[in-house]
């Protein structure tokens, strides 16, 4: 198994894993004939601020991405950017094999190499122990706006 940074040549692999993730969440196949074209449009739009990693065995088995957010410049302060890990997914038959650990390591190594001041994420309840093992803890400095109620 290997983990590598995705390129434009990997659009179909990432789209297929995104589809698998959605179908797992829904518990059924999802018919969407426009999905691949829409995904390709989204990919081109987002590539300037996202990095993707793919885990591959005999085929792609997992992926994640890291979105870069930059703050407005301030006098006397250098580059201030941080990362948001999102869309983390490993095929069910490859979970608990270290795939996720290698994906998160690749994303965090990248974040460190470019000097992000923080990396955040929004985990599912099931994923919290995984992210805790990777060094994440509660975020006490961020606030969340809840959607308005009707």
Region for 99 from its dihedrals, namely left if φ exceeds 0, alpha if ψ lies in -120 to 50, beta otherwise: alpha
Topology of domain 2-133 in CATH is Aminopeptidase (3.40.630)
* Distance, CA of 97 to CA of 100 (rounded, Å): 8
Does residue 40 surpass a pLDDT of 90?
yes
pLDDT value of position 132 = 95
Please compute, for residue 61, the number of CA atoms within 13 A of its CA located in the half-sphere on the CB side: 19
Does residue 79 surpass a pLDDT of 80?
no
pLDDT-derived band at 103 (thresholds 50, 70, 90) equals very high
* Distance, CA of 86 to CA of 63 (rounded, Å): 10
Reported in sequence order, the residue ranges of the chain that DSSP labels E, i.e. its strands, are 2-5, 50-56, 60-70, 81-90, 119-121
Torsion of CA 24, 105, 135, 23, to 10 degrees: -10
Does residue 97 surpass a pLDDT of 90?
yes
Q: Where are the domains of the chain?
A: 2-133
How much of the chain exceeds pLDDT 70, in percent? 99
Tell me the backbone φ, ψ of residue 12, rounded to 5 degrees. Answer: -65, -40
pLDDT-derived band at 142 (thresholds 50, 70, 90) equals confident
Give residue-wise pLDDT tens across range 118-129. 999 999 898 999
pLDDT value of position 141 = 76
Does residue 2 surpass a pLDDT of 90?
yes
59-72: average pLDDT: 96
CB-based burial label for 68 (10 Å; 0-12, 13-18, 19+) = middle
State the pTM of this model: 0.90
pLDDT-derived band at 7 (thresholds 50, 70, 90) equals very high
108-113: average pLDDT: 97
């Amino acid at each position: 198994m290997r983990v590598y940074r995705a390129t434009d040549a990997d659009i179909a692999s990432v789209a297929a894993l995104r589809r698998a993730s959605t179908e797992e969440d829904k518990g059924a196949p999802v018919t969407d004939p426009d999905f691949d074209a829409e995904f390709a449009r989204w990919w081109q739009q987002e590539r300037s601020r996202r990095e993707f990693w793919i885990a591959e065995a005999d085929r792609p088995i997992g992926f994640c991405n890291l979105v870069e957010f930059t703050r407005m410049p301030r006098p006397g302060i250098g580059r201030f950017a941080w990362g948001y890990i999102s869309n983390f997914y490993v095929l069910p038959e490859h979970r608990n094999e270290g795939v996720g650990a290698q994906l998160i390591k690749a994303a965090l190594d990248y974040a460190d190499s470019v000097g992000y001041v923080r990396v955040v994420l929004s985990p599912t309840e099931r994923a919290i122990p995984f992210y805790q093992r990777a060094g994440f803890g509660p975020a006490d400095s961020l606030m969340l706006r809840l959607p308005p109620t009707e």
